[in-house]
Each structure stands twice: as C-alpha cells, then as structure tokens.
Amino acid sequence: MKIKFLACAIALALASCQTPAPQSAADSQRPASNAVRREYVDALRGTIKPGNFVKAEISSVVLLDPEKQIYAYCTRTTERSNSNWSYIGLTLKNNMIVGLSKNAPRCHDKRLRYYDFPELRNMKY
C-alpha cells in the first residue's frame, strides 16, 4: 500500500511540472562586437565633442524579439560637466540601428552587464 501511495504521489508531482519559462532577454546577453562598437562611435562622430566623456561603458547585446530578430544594447556615459550616468538604449535589426531612446528603462536592469568602452571615451574627430 505504501509503495502504491508513493508511486501515485510521484506521478502527481511529475504531472504538475511545468515547462520552464521562455529564455529572458537577460539570459541572451553577449558582449558587443567590435562592429557594434565602431558603428556607435561612427554614429556619434561629429555630433559630440571628442574627449567629453570621463567614463563610457557599453552593455551586452540582448535578443529582444526572437521572431523578428530584434536586438538591443545600451551605453552609459558620464561627462566632465555631469558626473551622473547618462543612458542611451539602441535597438538593432539586420545589424542596423533602428531605434534609439534616451534613459531607456531596460538600460537600468541590474542583470545587464556593462563593459568599458574606451573607443567612445577616446574618440577623435
């Protein structure tokens, strides 16, 4: 009787198991490639004064929408005139920047990894 009860309990426990939640964007992180870094610096060249940033970091690239193959990453910088972090969120599709937002909430996610971004900090004209 105890064996039948134990077998039923195990069967019920296994039947109630759920499949894991879909992979979160934070789990898809990978460091930004050299091409992504170059594209960002090139996009800013001529729009900001070189040497303006005291600190510059770039986040991992994450997969936002698997069906549409939309990726995103963030940058955060501090300037000589403002020591607080300033965040920019970018969205990519087919390796092209298709969206940009200042102070994007996803850039403040504690799970997002940031890396030093000397290419931006040392940018020349």
Higher pLDDT, 89 or 2: 89
Question: SS in 3 state form for 42-100?
Answer: HHHECCECCCCEEEEEEECEEEEECCCCEEEEEEEEEECCEEEEEEEEEEEECCEEEEE
State yes or no: pLDDT of 73 exceeds 80: yes
- Determine the pLDDT at residue 115: 97
State yes or no: pLDDT of 27 exceeds 60: yes
Q: What's the pTM?
A: 0.76
- Determine the pLDDT at residue 74: 97
85-107 tens-digit pLDDT: 999 999 999 888 899 999 999 99
